Homo-oligomer: A and B are copies of this chain.
Amino acid sequence: MRVVKEAEERKKEIMDAAERLFMEKGFDGTSTNDILAAVGIARGTLYHHFPSKEHIMDGIIERLGDKILENARKAAVEKDLPVFERLVKTIMALNAGEAENIRPSEEIMEYIHQPQNALMHQKIRKLVITGVPPILAEIIKDGIEEGVFQTPWPLETMEMIVTYANTLFDEGLLDLDGEEMMGRIRAFIYNAERLLGVEEGSVPFGPELFAGGE
């Protein structure tokens, strides 16, 4: 049976199905046949719209990144809020935006961190590390003007903080027990305070913020 649709619509269908399958079974664990069956199209159709399986993933990640980062940017730009609150809201927007699409629940995280998803993981990591620090750095800069923060390297410092946070929370790299993880989080907050030039204990929120994803 032959159903004709607009290219953009088909592309979206393919990406939707692929996204679900990749989250369920991983990138390498999902064959193009799985995607074809899920969408209900033939091989040729898929390769009419995408030059390769990897390009499907690229499309998904780009779409994901656009959505998440856009939410965060909106929160980051609320200039009349106190900087701490802006920071918190922006970080929460990052977590929430992620939650809509890939809910960062345990089963999924398990899979994401499996070796077969190394490529997807690397691409998401790149998205986070290149996309998030510029947004947060703008807040930090305002905070510097207000005298709340003090650092000559706002962007680079946020890059460091985000990079480590990403490693610590998102990846399955460090397999830490609860106690070790608690230490990491406490140290992380302490070190973030040092890096941003505020005195110890002035970060008014604790580990609660860092439950889920980035």
Interface residue ranges, A against B (CB under 8 Å)? 54, 115, 118-119, 121-123, 125-126, 129-130, 152-153, 156-157, 159-160, 163-164, 167, 173-174, 183-184, 186-188, 190-191, 194-195, 197
Of the candidates B130, B152, B157, B183, the one whose C-beta lies within 8 Å of that of A156 is B183
A118-B119, A126-B173 are contacts. A164–B160 as well, Cβ < 8 Å? yes
Q: How far is the CA of A173 from the CA of B126 in the complex (A)?
A: 6
Copies in the complex: 2
Can you give 16 A-B contacts (C-beta < 8 A)? A54-B115, A115-B119, A118-B118, A118-B121, A125-B173, A129-B173, A153-B186, A153-B191, A156-B188, A159-B164, A159-B174, A160-B160, A160-B188, A163-B167, A191-B195, A194-B197
Contact at A191–B156, with CB atoms within 8 Å? yes
| A188: B residues at CB distance < 8 A | 156, 160
Q: How far is the CA of A58 from the CA of B119 in the complex (A)?
A: 17
Contact at B122–A118, with CB atoms within 8 Å? yes
Which of A125, A167, A174, A188 has its CB near the most chain B CB atoms (within 10 A)? Answer: A167
- CB-based closest 3 A-B pairs: A156-B187, A153-B187, A118-B118
| A186: B residues at CB distance < 8 A | 153
CB nearest to A153 among chain B residues = B187
| A184: B residues at CB distance < 8 A | 156, 159
Which of A54, A122, A157, A190 has its CB near the most chain B CB atoms (within 10 A)? Answer: A122
| A157: B residues at CB distance < 8 A | 187, 191
Contact at A173–B119, with CB atoms within 8 Å? no
Chain B min CB distance to A192 (Å):
9
A130-B174, A164-B163, A167-B129 are contacts. A152–B121 as well, Cβ < 8 Å? no
Q: How far is the CA of A121 from the CA of B123 in the complex (A)?
A: 13
